[in-house]
Structure 1
Amino acid sequence: MGLRGPFPLGVKNCTSLTELDLSSNHLTGQLPSNVSDFMQFLTKLDLSSNNLSGPIPSSFCNLSFINVLRLDNNQLTGQIPLELAGLDRIKEFDVANNRLSGQVPIFRSSSISADSYAGNLGLCGPPLDPCVWRAEKDLFLAGFAVGFPFFTIVTLLMVYCSTRLSMSNMRSFLLMVKKIKGRKQDLISQSPDILLTEQNNTEESKVTSMEKYIRRLSLVELKLATNNFDTKSEIGYGNMGIMYKAVFPNSMMLAVKRLHKFESFEKEFLLEIQILGRLRNTNLVPLLCFCFEMDKKFLVYKYMSNGTLHQWLHSRPQVEGRKMGWTLRLRIAVGIARGLAWLHHNNALQVAHLKIDSKCILLDDMFEPKISNFGNSIILMTTSGTLSSGCTFVVQHSVPSP
């Protein structure tokens, strides 16, 4: 594109961006520290092959949906913020060919290799060489000077004693080892059902597999945020469950849906995670976290201060004396249409909602519509171009949404 100068702050108006590629330009100056404030749904940020300098902002750890972060081939200095290790969804991280130093973050993803840090002579820690300070080196040398002679003596004694063993004892020992190996192999060959049972896809394993998309919270964290699910924290109720307003220690307000204990809602729980956990769009309600503990299921969303569209069309005007004008109604309708069009034609995962009504349209503080309640949806097409098996059971029943 031939861009020159500092990072273009004009992109802050593009709040629905999911990918930003400004690689191979002539950008200079420092990285902006507030990217996560105006591009919170960003999944890919590529600023490689520029002339950016200065440190990597620690606020990048707030890009909670980021999958790809490329900052290679710049002039970045300082230490890589260790907080970036908390980016659970990151699959590609590259800071090669900069002037970074210090310990590198320990990411959960195994796809981030030493090549991601190449060309930074001051970096250390897995998957690079261990971070060994001078004092630790001196301690190692002292220990080596004392331990090596002792190790050598013990090794020589073991070799001497082994030569004293008779050949008959040695043969008996080898025969015993062979029998043990044979019995172990027999147990494995005779019990394939046990192994298959352990490898079956249980509900817990399916839920655990979704942790790469969204964060998993503990029941204790949710109890603290909702004052032990106090009735005063309730903001909605439906057939699937109760919605609570939750306030976390960092003063962040989120909405927690506590699902009822019905077997029929297990599929809705998994579908909601599978769809909203993988898709990011400005007109879809952001699913941020989930909890599956002690047979209790919770879904955690971004809190929408203006409630549902249904409340504004039927309840709130009478209670609060506020009316929703036609201009605002038209803007909301266009936003819903855009969200549905994106769901139907998204290349990664094509989804049919099947149950759109005013109750499942949430409104944020700017009255931007957010489509929610995907428990009855079907996945029409995946990246492999095949129909999802989920649609064979989801269309058989319809559960009213809260």
Structure 2
Amino acid sequence: MKLFLLLFLFLQLQNPNPSFSLSSDGFSLLALKSAVDQIPDASTFSDWNENDTSPCDWSGISCMNVTGFSDPRVVGIALAGKNLRGYIPSELGTLLFLRRLNLHSNRFYGSIPVQLFNASSLHSIYLYGNNLSGPIPPSICHLPRLQNLDLSKNSLSGTLHRDLENCRQLQRLIISANRFSGQIPTGIWPKLEDLVQLDLSANNFNGSIPADLGELKSLSGTLNLSFNHFSGEIPKSLGKLPITVSLDLRNNNLSGEIPQTGSFANQGPTAFLNNPSLCGFPLQKACQNPPQNSPGNQSREPESEANTKKGLKPGLIILISVADAAGVAIIGLVIVYIYWKKKDSKNCSCTGKGKLGGGERVKICPCPCFTGFPSTVSESESEKGDGGGGGGGGGGNLVVLDKGFTFELDELLRASAYVLGKSRLGIVYKVVLGNGVPVAVRRLGEGGEQRYKEFSAEMQAIGRVKHPNIVRLRAYYWAPDEKLLICDFISNGNLASALRGRSGQPSASLSWSTRLKIAKGTASGLAYLHECSPRKFVHGDIKPSNILLDANFHPYISDFGLSRLISITGNDPTSSGGFMGGALPNIKPVQPERANNYRAPEALVPASRPTQKWDAYSFGVVLLELLTGKSPELSSPTTSTSTTAPDLVRWVRKGFEEENPLSEMVDPMLLQEVHAKKEVLAVFHVALACTEGDPEVRPRMKTVSENLDRIGS
């Protein structure tokens, strides 16, 4: 604080006519500017002027109107990736309404000032990729709203303090690639009920893995404990983690047999590598059973034999039978009770709140949030903490479906964006949020004001779909004149571009192993939609442009459930050219979509409804395109070029019936991979089974996925 006062006096001495016009938030920010001793880019602070009345127009600063204050207050600092060198000043703690502190990927050094945590509104702190040292101050959990803490890639040290249990709102804790040591405390993890990401990797932690890590019921993604010095056996309780969680326990000193319960069944061998004393599936190192004639076994044999010979008394058998019958009866009564209570709770609320924006109260569910999701949109909104207009009213309503995904409406409005594509299903934008995270925003349209509940229910169902090969819906925005879906942004385009290039010409970038990986991932995602998703979804529009790829060519299915949403909004989303009130008024027109030749034959029947067998057929056509390099979407019944084939399915079937050489049908790009011939032939058979004319003959996607997984394994 002394430095802050000295800076203030210095600035006033420099100004012969002091106006005292700059707000207190502005002077706190000038302390940050003063604390930076190297600024490679002079434009970073070029508009930070002490003669301004407000800092809200300064680069990297976000402000918001706060009730009770006439002037906007600073809520965000975003100076990431500027290569700034300096220290973090304690004066930032005077920014009482600061929500997001984003200084990652710079060269800040020194310790994290304890005074920073006087900024009691902080919910996101991103300081990763700096040169910070010293411990994490225990008082960090005095922040009542702290949700995201990323301190990775620094030189922080010390132990993980037990006060961490006071961070009850924490959703992401990432402290990897530091110098932390000591044992991980137990007893704190069950209290972090909202934690969705935990990364303690690349430190010097030792001791055993806490068994109560298995109580992190909200965890998703990866539990990363790799590259430490953990020892002892892997707790079986980790099997209680959600099945979508991936474990990373590599490069430790763990020993014993890998448990085979719960979520362990979904882990591959990579999760356990470089633990020399670990054994059991999925590692190829079998565990050795103790010898049968060992002293320990001999000492137990007489007791075991005596019990076998002695048996159970008749009276004890009768007592056990009566207890079993009573237990079954009690379980049956509980099930009936839950059923009727759940039935009576259709119009109730988990929190006792009515519709968002209304003042009425409703009864509280006897079995609240039975499925793990709020029974009304108002409850989702209350979890987020931001108010919005009512569903059918004139205001807007931003609903975050993934509680680990934090952003605010003002970020969306202020973010840079550009158009990715435009179709009958809406305009898609890439939007970069204030924390540097890109998202895809789809604009659906302007209609359907009276169908908010129906739209919201559809969004909640789609938001519950979580699979590594399906694009995640993170949030949505509803207003009478805007319907927006906020999803993960997948960086490497789609399969159509990867196969044909952006110019429509064949691409040489996809090897056979990559194509097989894409086929397996897409089949796995479709099988999940059909068999495991909350509503047993049917996609209805599987084609290469709806299969997105990341930088590693990992596939993600997109756009499922959109046809239903379009019917709810009841409007053409491409008819009006604005985004959140016209932030993007100039959208170049696009060519109308080509005929969809991936549809099943029965899809041509008027008023027919999509089925899972439709998806199987469409996926089969995608497989044929991966195999042949020919696009059915570019073909016609009378033309055939190097990139097209007249009726691709019929052309391939005819080739097999006439026993044409495989080289005449397969993509020329794959002919050099001679080793893949058997695999290519096997995938052809899967594709032909999927594209059978009779829907009843086609396999389920679960079977298709299992058959593909066997190929090349």
TM-score range, shorter chain: 0.3 to 0.5
Superposition TM-score, scaled by structure 1 size: 0.42
Query: Which structure's relative contact order is higher, taking Cα pairs within 8 Å and 6+ residues apart?
Result: 1
Q: Which has the higher strand share?
A: 1
TM-score by length of 2: 0.25
Q: Which structure has more helix as a fraction of its residues?
A: 1
Larger-Rg structure? 2
